[in-house]
A and B are shown apart, each in its own frame.
Chain A
Amino acid sequence: MWNRRKEEEPVRPTTSYTPPPAPPAAEPVRERASMSPNPSRFDDASRGAATIGKNVTITGQIQSREDLIIDGEVDGTIELNEHRLTIGPNGKVKAGIRAREIVVKGNLNGNVEATDRIEICQEARLIGDIRTARIIIADGAYFKGNIDIIKVDAPVRKEAAPQPKPQPAAAAAPVQQTIGAAAGGEFKR
């Protein structure tokens, strides 16, 4: 009885270790900090992110240490230095933003800095200045503002730093590093 917790722990293999298949799994698993009753309507890449639902309005400063989806209204500043921000199709954001990656599907008014990339989807509307390493803009998107490209000589991803193990599953990390290096500072559709 007293040792139930220990007994329920999974038995760890002692002879081999299979690494997680995708790089995001290298991050610690976090509880979902959802403020929306239906946060799962976005694409797979947004899974595990905190969500500000479409009936939520926030005025002020947002600082997040995990990915964030905004489908409501935000007026202020947003900082997700090492994480991804998605502005959903219902999102109306009036803010200065700093994040690793920004995906705009709704309305954004403000200057943005994305250290990795920014993606402006079809039907999105962005008015403001962009500073980023890479930009992807879909046909039909509306953008008005300056674009300044940050030159990245050799992007180094944290998850690519450990030496890959000989198992086949570990091959995902070097492949991603190759793609990142090829696309760094350039714009490819």
Chain B
Amino acid sequence: MVRPVTMQPVTRNSHGLDQFFASLGAESGLRLLDLSQACQANIGFITGQGNHLYTEDFYESLRHGFGHDFSQGMDDASRIDAFLAENWSGRDNEFDGALVWDALQYMTSPMIELFIDRLWHRLRPGAPLLALFSADEKASVIACSTYRIADAKTLTVVPRGATASAHFYNSRAIERLFQNFRSVKFFLARDTFREVLVKR
């Protein structure tokens, strides 16, 4: 049975987000990466804590780089190289934390491994990374959403469309993706998200 994708904004608690900010500590002046659509809530929250923000609408970048049905183009090595060179080149150790949200679940191999490898280089050692994966193994269509930080423990998920599920990543597959990272911690939620907090 195909589960319908809800298009209503949903406000939910996020233990992963809570742990993400807790692991940053009270330090300010950190440089954080946000791969959701730029929004006032995230900019206000992160800069309000005295941190710097690099934001990129990665869903839009994928659509721009690979076309609307972007999962189809991710088996072309030359396109992947061009996409990563254009969108994902940066300095080593430049970020103190990364809010990747659901960007990874739009990618298939080998794109996702190359992307995570670049991410590993761009994060400083010990930096936390928060990613969300669909927990619905049977979903053929997944919602693409914008993730807005209401507070350190609360997220508002605003759907912006839907796309064919590129690949289902179970816990074992996620651990393999982050095998070069120091730790991987899962947070199970009541909804269709699996939150993953990773330490570089």
A interface residue numbers (CB < 8 A to B): 120, 135-137, 139, 141-149, 186-189
Contacts and interface: CB of A to CB of B under 8 A. Distances in A.
Contacts of A149: 47, 52
A187 B47 contact: yes
B44 A188 contact: yes
Contacts of A187: 40, 43-44, 47-48
B60 interface: yes
A137 B40 CA distance: 6
B42 to A, nearest CB: 10
Q: Top 6 nearest A-B pairs by Cβ distance?
A: A187-B44, A143-B38, A147-B53, A149-B47, A144-B56, A146-B54
A172 B117 CA distance: 56
Contacts of A143: 38, 55, 57
Contacts of B47: 135, 147, 149, 187
Given A147-B47, A147-B52, A142 B40 contact: no
A130 to B, nearest CB: 9
A135 to B, nearest CB: 6
Given A142-B57, A142-B60, A143-B57, A148 B40 contact: no
Nearest to B31: A146
Contact of A144 (B39, B44, B55): B55
A146 B52 CA distance: 7
Nearest to A139: B39
A141 B40 CA distance: 10
Contacts of A137: 38-40, 43
Range of interface residues on B (Cβ < 8 Å) = 10 to 19
Report which residue of A136, A145, A187, A189 has the largest number of chain B beta carbons within 10 angstroms of its beta carbon.
Answer: A187
Contact of A146 (B37, B53, B61): B53
A186 B55 CA distance: 18
Given A137-B43, A148-B52, A149-B47, 15 more contacts: A135-B47, A137-B38, A142-B37, A142-B38, A142-B57, A143-B38, A144-B61, A146-B53, A147-B43, A147-B53, A147-B54, A147-B55, A149-B52, A186-B44, A187-B40
24 contacts: A120-B38, A135-B47, A137-B38, A137-B40, A142-B37, A142-B57, A142-B60, A143-B38, A143-B55, A144-B38, A144-B55, A144-B57, A145-B54, A146-B54, A147-B47, A147-B55, A148-B52, A149-B52, A186-B44, A186-B48, A187-B43, A187-B44, A187-B48, A189-B40
Contacts of B61: 144
Contacts of B38: 120, 137, 141-144
Interface in B117-144: none
A141 B55 CA distance: 12
A142 B40 CA distance: 12
A139 B47 CA distance: 18
A149 B56 CA distance: 17
Interface in B1-44: 37-40, 43-44
Contacts of A145: 54-56
Contacts of B56: 144-145
Contacts of A147: 43, 47, 52-55
Nearest to A127: B56
